[in-house]
Homo-oligomer: A and B are copies of this chain.
């Protein structure tokens, strides 16, 4: 897709993976994006061990992807829940990308287990690669990657 020699040290793919690339982080975000907010529910739905989950939630909060919000259920003491921030919401396309790939290649002839609809019109939602001229890219092969800025120094 491009010729190869540039500085990877500040690559955004690597940077993002350093933040959310650990084993359970994206599954936690999947739950958050489905509106699951409570520790025990996240644990139940993801299957992550408690200690790991505590740690992942803490890093996600630290990075401003989730925030801890106190709440009070009636007849309960005050607890807190985890909600997506705007920064966290912007990771949804990543989840959708993973989901679409899985739907295409992992479904054993089954129907995909989850459909995404446009809330206002009900039509199915999907991800598109598109350029500023408005062309939709039929394949990733139409992408040309160009290193910029500080990445230009080789190695």
Q: Which residues of A contact B (CB under 8 A)?
A: 1-4, 6-8, 10-17, 19, 21, 23, 26-27, 30-31, 33-36, 41, 45-46, 87, 89-107, 110-121, 123-133, 135, 137, 139-151
Cα A19 to Cα B149 in complex, Å, equals 33
Offer 19 A-B interface pairs, CB within 8 angstroms, sorted by A. Answer: A1-B34, A4-B31, A11-B99, A12-B98, A12-B99, A12-B107, A12-B113, A14-B27, A16-B98, A16-B99, A87-B105, A92-B129, A93-B97, A113-B150, A119-B141, A120-B135, A121-B135, A125-B143, A127-B129
* Majority DSSP secondary structure for residues of A touching B: mixed
A97 touches B94 (CB 8 A): yes
A113 touches B11 (CB 8 A): yes
Known: A1-B34, A123-B133. A112 touches B16 (CB 8 A): no
The 5 A-B pairs with the shortest beta carbon distances in the complex, nearest first, are A12-B102, A92-B140, A113-B151, A118-B131, A111-B149
Query: CB-CB < 8 A to A34: which residues of B?
Result: 1-2, 4, 145
Within the complex, what minimum Cβ distance (angstroms) separates A127 from chain B?
A: 6
Cα A123 to Cα B103 in complex, Å, equals 30
Max chain B Cβ within 10 angstroms of own Cβ: one of A26, A31, A94, A128: A94
Query: CB-CB < 8 A to A118: which residues of B?
Result: 131, 133, 135, 137, 142-144
B97 touches A97 (CB 8 A): yes
